[in-house]
Amino acid sequence: MLGVDDIRPMLEIHVECRTVRPGCPECGVRAHLKDQRVVTLVDLPCFGKCTRLIWHKRRWRCPDADCTNGSWTEEDDRIAASRLAMTDRAGRWITEQVGRCARSVNEVAKELGCDWHTVNDAVVAYGEALVDHSDRFSVVEALGLDEVLMVRRGPWHRQEFSTQLVDVGRGQLARRRARPIQHGAHGVAGEQGEGVV
Q: Using one digit for the tens of pLDDT, what is the confidence trace for 101-113?
A: 888 899 999 999 9
Asked if 65 and 130 sit in the same domain, the reply is no
Burial 44-70 (b: 16+ CB within 10 A, else e): beeeeebbbbbbebbebbbeeeeeeee
Rounded distance between C-alpha atoms, residue 125 and residue 90, angstroms: 12
If you average pLDDT over residues 175-182, what whole number do you get?
Answer: 50
Domain membership of residue 197 (yes or no) is no
For the chain, what is the domain count? 3
pLDDT score of 14 = 93
* pLDDT for residue 85 is more than 80: yes
**Within a domain: residue 173?**
yes
Shared domain for 22 and 72, answered yes or no, is yes
Q: Examine the domain organization and report whether 124 and 156 are in the same domain.
A: no
Is 62 found in the same domain as 32?
A: yes
Is 69 among the domain residues?
yes
Same domain membership, residue 93 and residue 67: no
DSSP type of residue 94: H
Which pairs count as long-range contacts for 120-126, CB under 8 Å and 24+ apart, including other chains?
Answer: 121/84, 121/85, 121/86, 122/84, 122/86, 122/90, 122/91, 122/94, 122/95, 123/94, 123/95, 123/98, 123/99, 125/81, 125/84, 125/91, 126/91, 126/92, 126/94, 126/95
Within a domain: 196: no
**Which residues form the domain of 112?**
86-136
**Total-model pTM:** 0.63
Does residue 194 lie within any of the structural domains? Answer: no
Instruction: Give the best-scoring range by mean pLDDT among 4-13, 85-94, 187-196.
Output: 85-94
Does 22 have pLDDT greater than 90?
Answer: no
Statement: residue 149 has pLDDT above 70? yes
* Residue 195 placed within a domain: no
> What is the band of 177 on the pLDDT scale with cuts at 50, 70, 90?
low
H/E element, 166: strand 158-167
pLDDT at 185: 40
Question: What does the radius of gyration of the chain's CA atoms come to, in whole angstroms?
Answer: 24
Q: Is 94 inside a domain boundary?
A: yes
